[in-house]
Structure 1
Amino acid sequence: MTGIGVTKRLDRSALWAVLLAVASAPAISLGAEGGAVVVRPFETGPIGGYDTKTPAGVPLRVEYCVPADSTPDSPILIVIPGARRNTAEYRDEWIDLAVANGFVVVTPGATHEHFPTEYDYNAGGVVDATGRLRPQHEWLFSAIEPLFDGFRLRFGLRSRSYSIYGHSAGGGFVHRFLLKVPNARVDRAVAANPAFCTYPVPDNAYPFGVGGAAVSDGDLRAWFSRPLVVLLGDRDTGPRKHPLSNGPEALEQGPNVFARGLGFFRSALVESDRLGAPFAWRLEVVNGVGHSNTHMASHAVRHLFPE
């Protein structure tokens, strides 16, 4: 693996060269009904699922793994699936890593029935297919924080923050989520092999740029300060199959996922320089890996849970 880390304290010349070259207490919560206090004891349950709803009342499936040796203080990882929305499969691919590293996995299941397009899913529902900005409570992005709180309450977990990982469409979701939900309680984030990216430029309309998405320079500064790792497989060079992921705007970003991810990170560097903004993102290139969540997850875990 080739690892590249950049902060404002470091000389970036080496990075530019590479980019160019590779083109057990209970949990207590106030309930919704009459302010009653709801107390749930901690429990493990190691694999399962349940149904919930988004703030807009849209059905959302949740799949989870709470390893048997978990404690109330075990860290939580939210895993965002790719375009197939194969939620249980994504959860299952993280089970061995969760058991070995002592964390809990929760995976939102946004089905094609209720979130049919890439605008609804990859792009978080911020805009519709016409580019109209949608009310925030309708965004899929707006379901993540309530899902986290509901999951903690259900299992008696005490974590006050979480890590988040996504692959392919999920990788696109993760980096956009950090932009549009700046107060999300995220400790660490990994966007792996995003099918297409949101470049921090106003000339391109969201979700390919930030145009029309009500993004200010202050929002960009906050985005660049978030703990994001862009994780790319250097063999992720095949075409994508979905309208936005392989449409003209995506192809302008590059002929494949690897090229688009490199361009995205380069664009973020340029814009952070323009703004004089602190830059906390990292780029990691995984050699010999293509568009594979299984292989990317095994590399992502060391960024998400370095301890």
Structure 2
Amino acid sequence: MTLSPRISLRAISRAVIGGIACTLYLVVSAGLPATSVAATLPGQVQPPRYICPPCNHEQDLFQASAVRARGSCHVCGMELVEKPLRLDTAEGSIREGSGSFLVDSNTPDSNPLAVFYHRPENLRKDAPVVIVLPGAGRNAWRYRDTWVDPSEKYGVLVLSPHYSEKYYPEFWSYNIAGMIENVRINKERTRVSGYDINRRAETWLFSDFDRIFETAVAELGMTTATYDLFGHSAGGQVLHRYTLFAGDSKARRILAGNSGWYTVPRFDKPFPFGTGSDMLDRDGLKKAFKRELVVFLGELDNADETRGHLVRTPDVNWQGDHRLSRGKYFFAQAQERARELGTELQWQLEVVPGVGHDYPAMGKAAADYLYGDSRRP
């Protein structure tokens, strides 16, 4: 069953403008001056615009200079991406294929979030939806691109938010989801020397995910009631903390992939390295254990892996020597706490064979795990 078209003023306006565009094409083909025709078409919808992702010369995705054609940046050579637009404008929409749109963060600051999506062909009204969180590079457009083939194969709508370094400049505002603040760095800038815990849960990143999901399904007229989450590296850090500390949400399955270090369910370790004695009580931990978390690890993300930055400080070294061992330790500690609390642990541990710190390969494995024939809900 495909999506039924929604009759709206915006749809009608697009149809009218589409007809005008055809007329304009015929005029130009006939050799008449297009400028004279264009002058009679105020407010016409423009084609998508393209921008260079943030790099040395373009620090902010939201202020980047836009051009009208796909291609590469003439300054740095990077492939251009779609300029995100609000869905309540004439140009904004979730078209078939890849694109982006703009929403505001659900936090009090209402920082803009660019969401890079892929809408597969013949999207069902009840199609699955996955939100994909990128690593420390914040390159949501590249993570989205690695999900294009799985999106078409499994008919899943892919949404990947970009947490701009302009608004979320440090690792604690993304990896730790804004749960600590006033961070002090030692003089050698080698480690954190102090911080305060941000106890204002409404300012954490977690509520953004429902907002992104609800915006997309409303725009497309979908009936899907829940969504899945996949995050790699820094994105995996966000999601295992989401599992522990987020309130009620519409998220269903949560795949936290290849995290560098964890907030381990230990009451004797201070947050954010453990849950601490005051951030999460026993009832809260029991609730977290009921979520459908999968600790999703690459078999080769071990001591021989050189990709990505792995924190090695006394604060986290007790969790293990590398990402694989740290993920296994995190899961083992969850099992131990569940036994102590006399509660069932819904979490799972999944090790992907033959894969290291490789987000395209982990993304493909995540798609197969979530939506492969044996996993379909």
| Shorter-chain TM band | 0.7 to 0.9
The residue that corresponds to 2:45 in the other structure is: none
CA–CA distance in 1 between the matches of 2:234 and 2:311? 9
Number of positions where the alignment pairs a residue of Structure 1 with one of Structure 2: 271
Equivalent residue, structure 2, for 1:54: 105
For residue 230 of structure 1, what is the aligned residue in structure 2?
A: 295
Which has the higher Rg, Structure 1 or Structure 2? 2
Does structure 1 residue 221 correspond to structure 2 residue 286? yes
Work out which of the residue numbers 358, 362, 367 in structure 2 matches 1:292. Answer: 358
TM superposition shift of 1:303 = 2.9
Answer yes or no: is 1:119 the counterpart of 2:135.
no
Give the C-alpha shift of residue 65 in structure 1: 0.6
Name whichever of 137-146 and 190-199 sits farther off.
Answer: 137-146
Instruction: Tell me which of 164, 173, 176 is aligned to 2:229.
Output: 164
**Residue 263 of structure 2, aligned match among 178, 198, 206:** 198
Q: Secondary structure at the match of 1:144?
A: helix
1:108-157 deviation line (CA, Å, top 9, x unaligned): 11011111122111111122231322422221112111121112222222
Distance in 1 between residues matched to 2:342 and 2:319, nearest whole Å: 24
- One-letter amino acid matched to 1:48: G
- TM-score for the superposition, normalised by structure 1: 0.82
Distance of aligned partners of 1:225 and 1:113 in 2 relative to their CA distance in 1, 3 Å threshold: same
Structure with bigger RCO (C-alpha 8 Å, 6+ apart) = 1
In structure 2, list runs of 5 or more residues that go unmatched.
7-87, 184-194
Partner of 1:211: 276
Asked if the contact 2:94/2:101 (under 8 Å) is kept, the reply is: no
Equivalent-residue separation in structure 1 for 2:284 and 2:211 (angstroms): 22
TM-fit CA distance, 1:207:
2.1
- Judged with a 3 Å threshold, the aligned counterparts in structure 2 of structure 1 residues 213 and 124 are, in CA distance, closer, same or farther, namely farther
Matches within 5 A, 1:254-265: 254-265=320-331
Moved over 4 A (4+): 239-242
Superposed, which structure 2 residues align to 1:77-226 within 5 Å? 77-128=130-181, 129=183, 130-211=195-276, 214-226=279-291
Report how far residue 48 of structure 1 moved: 0.6
1:250 alignment partner in structure 2:
316
Q: Do the aligned partners of residues 43 and 138 (structure 1) sit closer, same or farther apart at CA in structure 2, a change above 3 Å counting?
A: closer
Identity of aligned residues (%): 33
| 1:68 aligned partner | 121
The root-mean-square deviation of aligned C-alpha atoms, in Å, is: 2.2
TM-score, normalised to structure 2's length?
Answer: 0.67
8 Å CA contact 1:127–1:213 kept in 2: the answer is no
Measure, in 2, the Cα distance between the counterparts of 1:273 and 1:175.
20
Q: 1:58 to 1:247 in 2, by over 3 A?
A: farther
Deviations 1:252-293 (A, max 9, x none): 211211111010011001001000111111111122211011
CA gap 1:112/1:276 in 2 versus in 1, 3 angstroms: same
Point out where structure 1 has 5 or more consecutive residues left out of the alignment.
Answer: 1-23, 28-37
Cα deviations across residues 136-179 of structure 1 (Å, max 9, x unaligned)? 22211121111211122222222111000001111111111122
Matched, 1:276 2:329: no
